[in-house]
Amino acid sequence: MSLPKKLFIKTYGCQMNVYDSERMSEALGGEGYVPTDRPEEADMILLNTCHIREKAAEKVYSELGRMRGLKEARPDLKIGVAGCVAQAEGEEIMRRQPLVDLVVGPQSYHRLPQMEARLRAGERALDTDFPEEDKFAHLGKRPKAARGPTAFLTVQEGCDKFCAFCVVPYTRGAEVSRPAARIIAEARELVERGVREITLLGQNVNAYHGHEGGLAGLIGALARIDGLERLRYTTSHPNDMDDALIAAHGEEAKLMPYLHLPVQSGSDRVLKAMNRKHTAEGYLRLIERIRAARPDILLSGDFIVGFPGETEEDFEATMALVRSVRYGQCYSFKYSTRPGTPAAERAQVGEAEKDNRLQRLQALLTQQQRALQDEMVGRDVSVLFERSGREPGQMVGKSDHLHSVHVAGEGIARGDLRRVRITASGTNSLAGTLL
């Protein structure tokens, strides 16, 4: 009997790439590959890339350069690049890095078995098409092996918004929603494997239309699965928060009180230049409606500072919006150009000014995050325990509001969902005791 081949996947970027890496591993599992966390013992290495961060392509080339020694030591090692950088730079990667055997885009990885067969025949393989077929329909059933208590589940891909700073419409394509029946079947399989919490994923997840009730209808259908205790979703666009989805936050007990709803800027002038198609005031009124439906909801967001043309007045409008909302968590970045996007051709804000604004924004966001964390002390929350902590006898899990909570005590197992009283607030986590 031949030994199994070993597959190492390095995942960059968002939760959707984490999910895609799982499905790539499963697709190649049918070809005799088993996962390894040691690249030096792998028979195939895949870099599942993200194009959102600054200089994403150059970072991939640097990583490939570091693998040259592995390839020289083992000429039969196969190296592949997947994900959004692969989609954007496919032929250039092949030309620039001869050590790369395989390049596959995020919409084509269901074809990995056929591509791997070409590698065995001594060919190189490139596939960055946007195929007409549903890739998920061509992926096999997920294996029955036990897994951790939380999982990601992609329900929607692509984006039709064409924000001026974003490459997603070019690397992931137009908005496509998976059929609800297939999502529900996959969710049931995950629950059978031990999953108790599922996060629904999409580049623009609340634009999901594969169920007659939209995302709210899908959430309601998933909530009826026995053994599935918690639901979350990310990432959303303000323009697609419909009445039914807002209502679901107040009506569906399994939908957790946490919402990531990026606004990007508090300046209407900048929002228009970004092609966001919403206003700061409209966003604030939307937040009011969501909080009316679920008063204890914790809000998260994204911000870009130093977008081309942003003035100090525009930046102060962003700071004012942040003070008004009070975020429990946020992601903030300096604007950086993405080749091929409209904003890349505009006059840029100076780096020193970007740095200054980012530091001021992050100081305010950190202050808000810590204040809301501190307010949790004395409250009772539900915690889904996921792993052992640093201290003996300690377990760590996530609260309903996605706070990391560590608890010391006997009788806590991975996958337990327990009530906990919060006793202390740390820098990035909470401490509690079992009730």
Domain membership flag for residue 347: yes
214-226 confidence digits (pLDDT tens): 999 999 999 999 9
372-391 confidence digits (pLDDT tens): 999 999 999 999 999 998 88
19 touches 154 (CB < 8 A): yes
Q: What is the pTM of this model?
A: 0.85
Domain membership flag for residue 132: no
Judge if 388 and 368 occupy the same domain.
Answer: no
320 touches 283 (CB < 8 A): no
Three-class secondary structure of residue 409 per DSSP: coil
Peptide bond into 235 cis (omega under 30): yes
Structure tokens, 294: 């679920």
Judge if 358 and 390 occupy the same domain.
Answer: no
Average pLDDT estimate for 295-319: 97
Residue 330 in marked binding region: no
Judge if 360 and 291 occupy the same domain.
Answer: yes
Judge if 167 and 229 occupy the same domain.
Answer: yes
296 dihedral zone (left: phi>0; alpha: psi -120 to 50; beta): alpha
- Mean pLDDT of all residues belonging to the chain: 92
107 touches 139 (CB < 8 A): no
Which amino acid, 124?
Answer: R
Residue 131, pLDDT above cutoff 70: no
214 touches 244 (CB < 8 A): yes
CATH of the domain at 51: 3.40.50.12160
Count of the separate structural domains present in the chain: 4
Judge if 369 and 385 occupy the same domain.
Answer: no
Judge if 269 and 216 occupy the same domain.
Answer: no
Total residue length of the chain: 435
- CB under 8 Å to 163, separation ≥6 — which residues? 264, 274, 275, 276
Handedness of CA 387, 393, 394, 397 (dihedral sign): positive
Judge if 307 and 371 occupy the same domain.
Answer: yes
Judge if 155 and 226 occupy the same domain.
Answer: yes
410-425 confidence digits (pLDDT tens): 889 999 999 999 999 9
Judge if 281 and 388 occupy the same domain.
Answer: no
Judge if 88 and 187 occupy the same domain.
Answer: no
The β-bridge partners of 260 are 300
Q: How far apart are CA 148 and CA 361, in angstroms?
A: 35
Nearest to 271 by CA among 320, 326, 314: 314
95-116 confidence digits (pLDDT tens): 999 999 999 988 888 899 999 9
Q: How distant is the alpha carbon of residue 176 from its chain centre?
A: 17
Domain membership flag for residue 134: no
CATH of the domain at 389: 2.40.50.140
> What range defines the domain where residue 148 resides?
141-256
